[in-house]
Structures are given as C-alpha cells and as structure tokens.
C-alpha cells in the first residue's frame, strides 16, 4: 500500500512550490489515474514516489516503509521513450538490463526479457535497436522493461503522450490487460481526461499548481473494458464530463456521483471514496 | 546501370583531382622546377625510399620498417596513454559538479597552450629521444580527449540516468552501461582530434632531432637538398593522416552504429 | 551560479598552483626540472614588462593574425564560389579531403628552403595550414543550406546572387566561423613550431629556443609557455564571443533542438 501524507515540494530551496500538502492512499492492486491541468506537478509527484527527488515536506510510505531513495520493487514508464530507452543497447538488452539487480544469470535475464517482450506483442524485435522501431513499439519496449522487472508498483508518467491516437488506444488496452494479469498497483499520470476514466479504477484530480488532491472519484465501469463499448456507456460519458469540469477548476457537486456507479471492490478501499476537495 | 551510375559519381568527384595532378606534372616538367618536383618523380622517390623491398616483407624496405615502426610506436603509445588518461580523468571530473567547476579553468588553460611551446622544456627535462617524443605527444593530445569526455559525461540524458536509477542499476554498472556509452560519441570525437594532433606532434618532435622516423627522413632530405625525397616524406605523412582518419571513422561507424542510426532518424 | 563558478574556478587554479609549488619545494620532483609554480609565475610577470619578449610576442601575433586573415580572405570566397556550383563543389571537396590530412608542420623543412624571409615563411605556412579547415567548413556549410529557405526566397523572384547573399551565406556563417576557430588554434601550433625549427629574429618560439640554448632554465621556458597559453586562450575566447554575439539566432536554434 502506498501512503502519501502532506506531501510538499518546492524547487530550488524556497523557489517555486509545486506540491502543497498532498494526501493520497493507494491500496494494493489498484489502477489509479492521476489527472490535472498541465504543469500542475503531476510529474513531480511521480518523481517523489519513485524516490528520484527528495520532497521538501510530508511523508511517503510504501508498504509501511518510508521512501528514501528508489524503492526496490518499483518501475517507471516515462513519456519520452526515446530518451529513457538506451539507444546503444538492443531492445532485448534494454529490457534485460534492470534484471541484474534481481540476481539472475545472463540466460535467465534474456529469457525473462523475451517473455516480457512477447507479452507486449513484440516477439521478434529483441535483436533490433530501439530507434529502429516506431514510437508506439518503443513505448511497448519500455512497458516490457517495467514488466520484466516484476514491480509491485508501476508508475507511468504520461506514457502515451507521444504516440498517435490509434497506438494510444492499443497501449491503453495493453495496460489494462497487464493490470488484470499481473495484479500490480499502477499509478498512471495523464492529462487526457478520457484516458483517465477509461483506464482507471479510480480517478484522482489535482489542482492547478501548487498541487493537492482536488477530487477523488471511483470509476464504476465494468472491469473488462472495450474502446468502443465502454466509451459509449452513459456512466463513462457522465464521469468524463465530471472529471473534465473538475480539471478546469470546478468544485465537486456533492451528490452528483456517477449515475449507475457500481460499488465496486475498489470503492470500498480506504481513501478511494469520492469526497469533496478540502 | 548501377555500374554506370557509380562510374559517373566517381568521375564527378575525381576530375578536379586528376586535373590538378596532370597540370602539376606537365607544368613542372616543362619549366624543370626544382622545389616542386612532378608527382611521378615524388612517387618514384616514395617507392625507392620505402616500398621497393622484397615481397617477403610486404615490399617494405629496411628503411621503411625502421622509420615506420619508430614513428608509429611513439605515436600510438603517446596517443593511447593520453586517451586512457583523458577518458578516466574526464569521466571522474565530469561526474562531479564541484570538481568540474574547480578544474575547468585550469583545463581550458592547459588546452590552450600550443603543445610545441613545451618542446624545449621537455627536451631539457627528458633529453632528446623516445621518452621526450612520447611525452610531447601525450601531453599535447590529452586535453581534447579529457575535455570532450567531461562534456559527454555531463550531457548524458538525465532521463536515461533516472531510468537506470529507478531500475536499481548500481553505480559502477551505471558508469559502464549508461554514462560511458552515452558519452561515447563525444569521447570518440575527442580521440579523433587527438589522433590528428598526435601525428602533427610526432612530426615536430622528430624534426627536432632524431635518428629514425619519417620526420628525421624529411630532415635528412632537406639537409642534402633532395627535394623529391623530401616530398616523398610529406606525401607519406599525408597518407598516414588519411589512413588513420579513414580507419578511425570506420571503427567509429561500427562502434557507434546506434548513434548514427538514432541521429539519422531524429533529423 | 556564475558567482559560484568563479569562486570554485579560482579555488581550482589556486589549488593547482599550490600543488605544483609543493611537489617542487619538497623535492618530490626535481626542482631544476619542474621549478616551483610561484617562480614560474614570477618569471612570467617579469616577461610581461620585458621589451624584448614583447617584441617576440608581437612578431608571433603578427604572423599568426596575418596568415589567418589571408587564409580567411582566400578560403571563404573560394569556398563560396566552389560550393555554389554543384559540380565544382563535389570535385573540390574530394580535392580538399585529399590535401587536408597532410600535417602542415611537415612542410616546415620545405618552407625553410623556399623562403628566405622568416615572416614570409611563417605567414605562408600559417596560410596553408588555415586554408583547409576554413575551406572545408565553407564547402560543407554551403552544401547543407536548407533548400526550403533558398526556394522560399527564389519564389519571391530573387535571383541567385541575392539568394547567396541573403540565405546561403548567413546560414553558413556560424559553421565557417567554427572553421576559423579551428584554424586559429592550428595556426598557433604552426607558428610556434616554425619559429622553433627555422629560427629568425623575433617570435615566442625564438625566445624559447634561445632560452633552451642559453642554459635551458626551465622556469623561463615554462614562463614563455604560460604566455603562449594565455594567447591561445584569449584568441579562442575572442572567437567564441564573436560567434555568440554575431550568431545569437543560431545558438538559440541549437539550444532549442537540444
């Protein structure tokens, strides 16, 4: 379980404050979408959770242990695949590199890499170099790299921000499929409202910078989702409108909970209930 | 069709070179020029001096094996030592902001010192001979490698480093698999510049007085006023420069294939 | 940030001087081979007011600057001429690539026989050494001018000379200047080497070789090298500054890509 209390961060000593007393609790196995206006500090939040930056205030714990430095079983998929993949390594070696930390032999690492590549639909790209693949395929490689690492918490920082619309839908479904089969906790940061509702078990809306949690909505959509059908559901349309309004700074209207929202398992989890912004 | 096209490409490139050589040959023969002997006579001198040996030694004369081995040994020891020191020190300095801020004015100054100015100093300290020549070469070419490595290491993509940290790649492994490969294009550029500087310094140090080496051959020819032989030395040095550059580029193209490929797609 | 860099840089320089001082004073290294840094700097300071040495510096600078200027005046127009005629440009590049690898210092023995006047000899060698880097950068820069930029001006009815003047030259200029900067550093090497090998009346190289002959005091030799380094540094900084001021648009573009 990931617990964030009073997370505050400002860059350069007393400079720009980007996070201001943010509270968030994510139970194991949940897929949480985090949306907010661009430049609101979503990426800073992820970097704090990943232990890449030390926040100036607040507490972060993962399974009860405070986060200092990069946690052991956490992986990140960055938006900019072209800069987070290593162009001098083949696709397979890119995926296999982090597995050194898992104490595996060379052949085990290779096998695990091939398996992960297969699971994202890249059976025969292992020997190629990342830059020989299309953007969408490169992002699949970064997802495969994260999967092969078998983290319990997967952070995705606008993972589909740099791919075309069709690829984006394919990758969204890939994330859903991974979530179903691997049962890992996923935090997906996005600025796409549609995507946040389609992918998430729960949507957390952040305010304009300095960021705190503006609203926290459960998504009551059936767990098996489909690009055409799901997006056509009235619940989807309504929730999307609600999130859209919140992102633009609107206040949460009490009682306007998504029509037909099922009290899904996720909604019972602590901190996942819809509550007005403080 | 393809052969025709290749032939056309070759002619387009080579016609001016050919024209210059023919003009040089015709004019110098016509006026019986001493200082600029015709190319054929230079080629002849080149052949006699170094390439008229027995087939068993690849047509190299005894003179050639002596001169080339002396010159090239100095060149490669100096360049290799400078390259290794430059990469190690450059990586160390480039990884630390404090060290970099402290060292960069000193390094910029040392790079700006034209290496030949230190020759008299090295001659006094080390006497004429191999040590002096190697030190001159090494000291002259270490700076481009060092500064380029610094620069390359400092400008490694921060997202790549963050990715490596997230996936728990340890410090040493990060240096070997992320930082050095990421800096490799700049390191190689530094090594290539260093190699061409090393050739220049090899020539200068030999011109100062040495008993073997291409430079000493050049000096001997000048003293005995044998101009074709002197030109042969100049041409030989040009050939070496050309070959070094070509081999290095080939190596670079192989080792940095990923960089070239990624760049081509980026533009 | 910049203040921090100045402080740290000064500390680094002081540290390097102190280190050299200590290894020499404590006898870790033979002091006659590597004299204490303060002694070298003291001698360098004395040289700064020594009329004879200043004449040497002036002679070196004159040859350096003269040869470089001559090379710029010849190489840039030649490069523009050759580069703007496609067929000629390809052939010229091949010729230049063939000539460039010849290390210019290899021509010093030839120049010694060829020229009687030392200044003339130095300037010719510098001219030759500088010609190639400038010419090559000009040729390649003109080849790589964005065809869209040229076409857009042409579509407004401008002729070839205006396209050359308003598009090709400005967009090639930063690259040409880089060529000049490379040429300047090569030229400094060539001028000092020539002075050392060929002798003459005045020059930093002459100062060094006469000091070497007259007893070989290493503090004096290093003091001379210090000034040569200062000259190299100043020239490089001046050209870099010029690039930065004149081609602000270019560096802005490069930074935007990076």
* pLDDT single digits (tens) B61-74: 888 888 888 999 99
Measured CA to CA, the distance from residue A53 to residue A47 in angstroms comes to: 6
Q: Which of A48, A84, A88 to substitute to test the interface with B, most B CBs within 10 Å? A: A88
Say what the pLDDT of residue B267 is.
56
Measured CA to CA, the distance from residue B231 to residue C187 in angstroms comes to: 22
Assigned token pair, B208: 């100062």
Measured CA to CA, the distance from residue C111 to residue C116 in angstroms comes to: 9
Residue C156 pLDDT level (bands cut at 50, 70, 90): confident
Q: Which helix (H) or strand (E) holds A19?
A: strand A17-26
- C226, C43 in Cβ contact below 8 A? no
Touching A (3+ Cβ pairs <8 A), the chains are B
Q: Which helix (H) or strand (E) holds A218?
A: strand A213-218
pLDDT for A260 beyond 60: no
Measured CA to CA, the distance from residue A26 to residue A133 in angstroms comes to: 35
Using DSSP bridges, classify how beta strands A202-206 and A213-218 pair: parallel, antiparallel or unpaired.
antiparallel
Q: Name the residue facing B167 among A88, A98, A132 (closest C-beta).
A: A98
**Residue C114's closest chain B neighbor by CA?**
B35
Task: Give the mean pLDDT of B80-104.
Answer: 94
Contact call for C12 and B104, based on CB within 8 A: yes
Domain match, C140 and C44 both: yes
Domain match, C27 and C90 both: no
Q: Is A233's Cβ below 8 Å from some Cβ in B?
A: no
* Contact residues on chain C for B203, CB-CB shorter than 8 A: 103, 105-106
* Contact residues on chain A for B159, CB-CB shorter than 8 A: 78, 80, 83-84
Say what the pLDDT of residue A267 is.
37
Say what the pLDDT of residue A202 is.
93
Task: Give the mean pLDDT of B210-220.
Answer: 85
State the CATH number of the domain containing residue C211: 1.10.3720.10
* Contact residues on chain C for B101, CB-CB shorter than 8 A: 4-5, 8-9, 12
pLDDT for B8 beyond 90: no
The most distant pair of C-alpha atoms in chain C lies apart, rounded to whole Å, by: 76
Q: Name the residue facing B121 among C88, C103, C225 (closest C-beta).
A: C225
DSSP label at residue A132: G
Say what the pLDDT of residue A183 is.
84
Domain match, C3 and C80 both: no
Q: How far is B93 from chain C (nearest CA, A)?
A: 12
Residue C212 pLDDT level (bands cut at 50, 70, 90): confident
Say what the pLDDT of residue A273 is.
39
Q: What percent of chain B has pLDDT over 70?
A: 99
Q: Cα-flanking dihedrals φ and ψ of residue A32, to 5°?
A: -105, 130
Contact call for C232 and B12, based on CB within 8 A: no
- C67, C235 in Cβ contact below 8 A? no
pLDDT for C151 beyond 70: yes
Say what the pLDDT of residue A259 is.
42
pLDDT for A144 beyond 80: yes
Q: How far is B252 from chain A (nearest CA, A)?
A: 13
Contact call for B17 and C8, based on CB within 8 A: no
- List all residues 6 or more positions away from B242 whose beta carbon is below 8 Å from its beta carbon: C98, C101
3-state secondary structure (DSSP) of residue A155:
strand
* Contact residues on chain A for B265, CB-CB shorter than 8 A: 131
pLDDT tens-digit series, residues B193-206:
999 999 999 999 99
Q: Which helix (H) or strand (E) holds A157?
A: strand A153-157
Say what the pLDDT of residue C1 is.
55
Say what the pLDDT of residue C193 is.
93
pTM: 0.83
Residue B129 pLDDT level (bands cut at 50, 70, 90): confident
Q: String of b and e for A186-203 (b: at least 16 CB within 10 Å)?
A: bbbbbbbbebbbbbbbbb
The most distant pair of C-alpha atoms in chain A lies apart, rounded to whole Å, by: 56
Q: Name the residue facing C91 among B13, B125, B215 (closest C-beta).
A: B13
A223-232, C10-19, C156-165, range with the lowest pLDDT:
C156-165
pLDDT tens-digit series, residues B216-255:
888 888 888 889 999 999 999 999 999 999 999 999 998 8
A66-80, B47-61, C30-44, C65-79, range with the lowest pLDDT:
B47-61
Say what the pLDDT of residue B58 is.
77
Class of domain A2-73+151-268: alpha beta
B129: how many CB neighbours lie within 10 A of its CB? Answer: 13
Measured CA to CA, the distance from residue B207 to residue B222 in angstroms comes to: 11
3-state secondary structure (DSSP) of residue C182:
helix
Q: How far is A69 from chain B (nearest CA, A)?
A: 9
Q: Cα-flanking dihedrals φ and ψ of residue A89, to 5°?
A: -105, 150
Say what the pLDDT of residue A24 is.
93
C to B contact (≥3 Cβ pairs closer than 8 Å): yes
C215: how many CB neighbours lie within 10 A of its CB? Answer: 8
**Residue B207's closest chain C neighbor by CA?**
C197
Say what the pLDDT of residue A256 is.
47
Measured CA to CA, the distance from residue B144 to residue B97 in angstroms comes to: 19
Task: Give the mean pLDDT of C123-145.
Answer: 90
Domain match, C161 and C45 both: yes
Q: Which of B14, B36, B114 to substitute to test the interface with C, most C CBs within 10 Å? A: B114
Task: Give the mean pLDDT of B4-25.
Answer: 88
Using DSSP bridges, classify how beta strands A185-190 and A31-35 pair: parallel, antiparallel or unpaired.
parallel
Say what the pLDDT of residue B33 is.
79
Alpha helices in C144-203 (DSSP H): 147-154, 160-163, 169-198
Say what the pLDDT of residue B9 is.
84
Q: Is B104's Cβ below 8 Å from some Cβ in C?
A: yes
Q: Is A169's Cβ below 8 Å from some Cβ in B?
A: no
Say what the pLDDT of residue A28 is.
92
Task: Give the mean pLDDT of B147-175.
Answer: 90
pLDDT for C258 beyond 50: no
Residue showing tokens 């992960």:
A116
* Contact residues on chain B for A131, CB-CB shorter than 8 A: 258, 261-262, 265
Q: Which helix (H) or strand (E) holds A128?
A: none
pLDDT tens-digit series, residues A225-253:
888 888 888 899 999 999 998 888 776 65
pLDDT for A66 beyond 70: yes
Say what the pLDDT of residue C253 is.
43
Say what the pLDDT of residue A195 is.
92
Domain match, C27 and C41 both: no
Contact call for A131 and B177, based on CB within 8 A: no
pLDDT tens-digit series, residues B19-47:
999 999 999 888 887 888 899 999 998 88
Contact call for C103 and B98, based on CB within 8 A: no
Contact call for B109 and C233, based on CB within 8 A: yes
Residue-number span of the structural domain to which C225 is assigned: 35-257
Contact call for A88 and B160, based on CB within 8 A: no
**What's the domain count of chain C?**
2
Say what the pLDDT of residue C84 is.
79
Q: What percent of chain C has pLDDT over 70?
A: 95
Q: How far is C258 from chain B (nearest CA, A)?
A: 10
Contact call for B35 and C113, based on CB within 8 A: yes
pLDDT tens-digit series, residues C220-254:
999 999 999 999 999 888 888 888 887 766 654 44
* Contact residues on chain C for B227, CB-CB shorter than 8 A: 110, 113
pLDDT for B77 beyond 90: yes
3-state secondary structure (DSSP) of residue A79:
coil
Q: Which B positions 193-222 lie with beta carbon below 8 A of chain C?
A: 196, 199-200, 203-204, 207-208, 215, 218-219, 221-222
* Contact residues on chain C for B121, CB-CB shorter than 8 A: 218, 221-222, 225
pLDDT tens-digit series, residues A8-34:
998 876 678 888 889 999 999 999 999
The torsion of the CA quartet A175, A176, A179, A185, rounded to 10 degrees, works out to 80
* Contact residues on chain A for B166, CB-CB shorter than 8 A: 50, 52, 70, 74-76
Touching B (3+ Cβ pairs <8 A), the chains are A, C
pLDDT tens-digit series, residues A71-107:
888 999 988 888 889 989 999 999 998 888 787 888 9
Nearest to A59 by CA among A140, A122, A3, A129: A3
Q: Name the residue facing C105 among B15, B203, B242 (closest C-beta).
A: B203
Say what the pLDDT of residue A208 is.
81
Domain match, C154 and C192 both: yes
pLDDT for A257 beyond 50: no
DSSP label at residue B128: S
B119: left (phi over 0), alpha (psi -120 to 50) or beta: alpha
B to A contact (≥3 Cβ pairs closer than 8 Å): yes
Measured CA to CA, the distance from residue C63 to residue C120 in angstroms comes to: 8
Using DSSP bridges, classify how beta strands A185-190 and A153-157 pair: parallel, antiparallel or unpaired.
parallel
Q: What percent of chain B has pLDDT over 90?
A: 49
Q: Tell me the HSE value of A1 on the side-chain side, using a 13 A CA sphere.
A: 11
């Amino acid at each position: 379980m990931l617990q964030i209390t009073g997370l505050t961060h400002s860059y350069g000593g007393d400079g720009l404050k980007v996070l201001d007393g943010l509270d968030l609790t994510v139970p194991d196995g949940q897929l949480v979408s985090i949306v907010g206006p661009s430049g609101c500090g979503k990426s800073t939040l992820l970097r704090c959770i990943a232990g890449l930056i030390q926040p100036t205030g607040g507490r972060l714990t993962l399974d009860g242990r405070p986060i200092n430095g990069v946690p052991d079983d956490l992986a990140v998929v960055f938006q900019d695949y072209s800069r987070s993949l290593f162009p001098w390594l083949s696709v397979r070696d890119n995926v296999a590199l982090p597995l050194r930390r898992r104490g595996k032999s060379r052949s085990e690492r290779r096998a695990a890499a091939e398996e992960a590549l297969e699971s994202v639909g890249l059976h025969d790209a292992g020997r190629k170099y990342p830059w020989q693949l299309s953007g969408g395929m490169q992002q699949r490689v970064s997802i495969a790299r994260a999967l092969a690492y078998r983290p319990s918490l997967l952070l995705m920082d606008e993972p589909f921000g740099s791919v075309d619309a069709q690829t984006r839908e394919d990758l969204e479904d890939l994330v859903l499929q991974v979530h179903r089969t691997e049962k890992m906790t996923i935090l997906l940061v996005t600025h796409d409202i549609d995507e946040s509702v389609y992918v998430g078990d729960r949507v957390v809306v952040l305010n304009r910078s300095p960021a705190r949690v503006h609203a926290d909505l459960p998504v009551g959509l059936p767990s098996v989702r489909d690009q055409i059908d799901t997006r056509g559901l009235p619940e989807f349309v309504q929730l999307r409108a609600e999130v859209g309004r919140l992102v633009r700074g609107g206040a949460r209207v009490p009682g306007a909970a998504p029509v037909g929202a099922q009290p899904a398992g996720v909604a019972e989890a602590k901190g996942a209930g819809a509550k007005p912004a403080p | 069709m393809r052969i025709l096209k290749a032939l056309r490409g070759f002619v387009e490139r080579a016609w001016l070179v050919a024209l210059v050589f023919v003009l040089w040959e015709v004019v110098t023969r016509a006026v019986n020029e001493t200082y600029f002997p015709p190319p054929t006579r230079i080629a002849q001198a080149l052949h006699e001096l170094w390439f008229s040996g027995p087939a068993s030694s690849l047509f190299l004369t005894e003179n050639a094996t002596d001169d080339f081995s002396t010159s090239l040994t100095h060149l490669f020891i100096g360049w290799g030592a400078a390259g290794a020191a430059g990469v190690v020190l450059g990586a160390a300095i480039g990884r630390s902001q404090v060290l970099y801020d402290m060292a960069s004015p000193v390094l910029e100054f040392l790079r700006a010192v034209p290496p030949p100015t230190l020759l008299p100093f090295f001659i006094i300290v080390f006497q004429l001979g191999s040590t002096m020549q190697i030190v001159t070469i090494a000291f002259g070419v270490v700076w481009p490698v060092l500064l380029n490595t610094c620069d390359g290491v400092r400008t490694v993509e921060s997202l790549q480093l963050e990715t490596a940290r997230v996936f728990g790649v340890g410090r040493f492994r990060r240096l070997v698999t992320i930082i050095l490969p990421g800096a490799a294009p700049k390191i190689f550029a530094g090594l290539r510049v260093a190699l061409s500087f090393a050739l220049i310094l090899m020539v200068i140090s030999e011109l100062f007085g040495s008993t073997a080496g291409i430079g000493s051959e050049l000096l001997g020819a000048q003293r005995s006023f044998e101009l074709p032989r002197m030109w042969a030395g100049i041409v030989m040095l040009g050939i070496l420069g050309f070959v070094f550059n070509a081999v290095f580029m080939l190596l670079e193209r192989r080792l940095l294939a990923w960089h070239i490929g990624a760049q081509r797609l980026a533009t | 940030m910049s203040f921090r860099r100045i402080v740290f840089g000064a500390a680094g320089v002081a540290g390097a001087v102190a280190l050299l001082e200590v290894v020499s004073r404590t006898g870790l290294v033979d002091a006659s081979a590597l004299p204490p840094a303060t002694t070298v700097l003291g001698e360098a300071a004395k040289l700064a007011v020594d009329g004879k040495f200043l004449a040497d510096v002036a002679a070196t600078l004159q040859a350096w600057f003269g040869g470089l200027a001559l090379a710029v005046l010849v190489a840039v127009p030649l490069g523009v001429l050759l580069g703007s005629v496609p067929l000629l440009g390809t052939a010229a590049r091949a010729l230049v690539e063939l000539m460039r690898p010849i290390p210019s210092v290899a021509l010093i023995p030839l120049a010694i026989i060829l020229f009687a006047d030392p200044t003339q000899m130095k300037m010719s060698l510098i001219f030759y050494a500088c010609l190639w880097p400038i010419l090559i950068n000009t040729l390649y820069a003109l080849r790589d001018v964005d065809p869209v930029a040229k076409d857009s001006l042409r579509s407004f009815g401008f002729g070839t000379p205006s396209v050359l003047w308003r598009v090709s030259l400005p967009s090639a200029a930063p690259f040409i200047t880089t060529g000049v900067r490379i040429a300047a550093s090569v030229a400094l090497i060539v001028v000092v080497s020539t002075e050392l090998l060929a002798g003459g009346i005045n020059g930093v190289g002459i100062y060094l070789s006469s000091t070497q002959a007259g007893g070989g005091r290493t503090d004096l030799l290093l003091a001379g090298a210090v000034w040569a380094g200062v000259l190299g540094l100043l020239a490089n900084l001046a050209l870099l500054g010029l690039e930065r001021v004149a081609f602000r648009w270019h560096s802005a573009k490069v930074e935007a890509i990076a």
